[in-house]
Structure 1
Amino acid sequence: MISVVILGAGNVATHLFNAFYNANDITVSQWFNRNISHLSSYKNKVAITDNLSELKEADLYIIAVSDDAIANLSSQLTFENRLVVHTSGTVNIHDLDKKNRRGVFYPLQTFSKTAELNFADVPICIEAIDKSDRRILKGLAKAVGSNSHKVNTNQRKALHLAAVFVNNFTNQLYRVAHEITEAEGVEFDILKPLILETAKKVQILSPYMAQTGPAKRNDKKTLKKHIDLLKDEQHQAIYELLTASIQKTHRVATGATVRSKKTK
């Protein structure tokens, strides 16, 4: 049985609590947040506190707060030589105060409090100074049904950057598509099967092999029609940039860049 104290009450902390609470081999000993009112709905499930000096002894302390607050919070912990980890994709393991054993428990997934999440679908990237602590983190991931991956700081940062492209940037492209369809009174929902099929395709093919569309085949007439249809200059710029990126990747001989008359 692994005993855990969670520090923070954001999206990641909330999902971790729910996963730990429902796991057979994990006990959440306590949950800390500076604003204890954010934890009030959980007070019948776990001991809550807003006082760092009252933290209980546990096998593991998980700091799940904003990146900028991690180092400061770890320095304020009143104990020493216990295992303290953060959940960030970008913060260096050495930013944690060295008075404690240090590690990283980074769940590589998008988190929203209102969206249910199965941790079997959440890869956990783990990092630790000591091998024995790495085993604890691996056991924690296993207890919630996640696959764990040993990574170093540079690898974790690269994964986080890549995640921004496949998640945050992709979601913004969904938003652009929603604006385009909405402007013509077309339901965005019609695109959802395509979104799912695109995601399914890269489960069996590399993104390089899965690429299709007018940019790859250098369909200049279609490319120009698309640019001319776009009313927003920022949307035009995104379209042109991504078209150029696809064509560079696939070594498409393009000649002059196709631009709208409006942007000349």
Structure 2
Amino acid sequence: MLFLFQVRLRYFSPMISVSILGAGNVATHLYKSFVNAKTISVVQWYNRDIRKLAMFQSDVETIDNLAMLKPADIYIISVSDDAIAELSEKLPFENRFVVHTSGSVSVYDIDKKNRRGVFYPLQTFSKDVPVAMETVPICIETIGKKDSPLLKLLGKSMGCKTHKVNTDQRRALHLAAVFVNNFTNQLYRVAHEITESEGVEFDILKPLILETANKVQNISPYLAQTGPAKRNDKKTIKQHLKMLKDEQHQAIYKLLTASIKKTQGVYNKKLTN
């Protein structure tokens, strides 16, 4: 039966019906991608506060009552991590396919009365900032093997590449994403404060930001590393620390400088062994 199901998915590309639960950044971008896909049908969009869905009411059926949920192939819970388990418990049906979109929450947090899975788009989302969804990797995880092809097809219908991962791998990706996205963005904010303090335009740094991101597309982060910490340029490091008036900024500078030095030291040690 599984083989026949996979063949049907491959050659006939059936319409996939989905219902979205939640109205945050991820849910909004998923909805926009779904409605632009020829083989995805959004049956309903649920949110506890239906006012947050007001701008979409003319395009999709919006509801604020779980009892009104209609049959769908996939129910996508896209709410805050802490609310996933509670919302899944409240779903008024059994033996349907329910997934969440979190990078860190276990698939087992979804109530076991339904088939369970994860559909995690690994990207940063802001409601008003467009995202080319076809470039977003989708990490999928299911408990039942028969459900995996359906999530893979959903991602493919969006134009996305899917990656089958287990819980530990997904959590590792989420942790790594915090470093490359959230922490990096905080460093941008610190840099913005530094340039602003001297009346310099932050925009002047944007080509450097883009080049740094582009460089790791082709070489490893280790090989891409440059700067005073890697060179062990003590004079420049001392000057920078003197320029930083904010103690927190100083602490960040010292911590990252020490981390780069340690990485370089480990590499040099390997070369000499």
Q: TM-score range by the shorter chain?
A: over 0.9
Match of 1:8 in 2: 22
DSSP-derived class of the 1:135 partner: helix
1:144 aligned onto 2:158 = yes
Question: For the structure 1 residues 183 and 252, does the alpha-carbon distance in structure 2 shift closer, same or farther, using more than 3 Å as the test?
Answer: farther
TM-score (norm 2): 0.92
- Superposed CA RMSD: 1.0
**1:133 counterpart letter in structure 2:** D
Aligned-pair distance for 1:121?
Answer: 1.5
Match of 1:123 in 2: 137
Distance in 2 between residues matched to 1:84 and 1:26, nearest whole Å: 16
Distance in 2 between residues matched to 1:177 and 1:184, nearest whole Å: 11
Unaligned runs of 5+ residues in structure 1 are: 254-264
Match of 2:258 in 1: 244
Match of 2:108 in 1: 94
1:198 aligned onto 2:212 = yes
Match runs of 1:65-214 below 5 Å: 65-214=79-228
- State whether residues 217 and 252 of structure 1, in contact with CA within 8 Å, keep that contact through their aligned partners in structure 2: no
Moved over 3 A (4+): none
Distance in 1 between residues matched to 2:52 and 2:253, nearest whole Å: 42
Aligned-pair distance for 1:132?
Answer: 1.7
1:55 aligned onto 2:55 = no
Which structure has the highest helix share of the two?
A: 2
Aligned-pair distance for 1:252?
Answer: 7.6
Distance in 1 between residues matched to 2:200 and 2:59, nearest whole Å: 46
Query: Out of 16, 28, 43, which is 1:29 matched to?
Result: 43
Aligned-pair distance for 1:40?
Answer: 1.4
**1:172 counterpart letter in structure 2:** Q
Aligned-pair distance for 1:77?
Answer: 0.4
Distance in 2 between residues matched to 1:166 and 1:194, nearest whole Å: 16
Unaligned runs of 5+ residues in structure 2 are: 1-14, 268-273
**1:184 counterpart letter in structure 2:** E
DSSP-derived class of the 1:157 partner: helix
- State whether residues 61 and 84 of structure 1, in contact with CA within 8 Å, keep that contact through their aligned partners in structure 2: yes
User: Percent identity between the aligned chains?
Assistant: 70
DSSP-derived class of the 1:216 partner: helix
**1:125 counterpart letter in structure 2:** C
